[in-house]
Amino acid sequence: MNDFPSHSDRLLRAVMAGVLAWGALLSIGVGLFGIDAETGGVRFAPNALRGLIVLAFVGGFLTLWLAALEVRRRRRRSSHPMRPGPNPR
């Protein structure tokens, strides 16, 4: 069996890493800056809770995505019982 991930696996991992990096950067920005109530402009107003909320939603999205991929993988494996799976070590 091939121990190297396929091209689609590498691409999927890269996309997920990109989503995670984007979410982390977005949560930093949201955590550091806020809206000024008087002017409506952006001002420096650190609030870690806002950043954690954004990061939690991005993490939840990635978790659900990974769970959906795992369900799909298991269904495919059960529908093809003769298909060889990954080599367990």
DSSP string for 17-69 = HHHHHHHHHHHHHHHHEEE-TTT-SEEE---HHHHHHHHHHHHHHHHHHHHHH
Can you give the pLDDT at residue 18?
98
Task: Please state the domain extents for the chain.
Answer: 22-79
**Confidence category of residue 5, pLDDT binned at 50, 70, 90:** confident
- Per-residue model confidence as pLDDT tens digits over 45-85: 999 999 999 999 999 999 999 999 999 999 998 887 665 65
Average pLDDT of the chain is 89
> Is residue 2 scored above 60 in pLDDT?
no
pTM for the complete prediction?
0.76
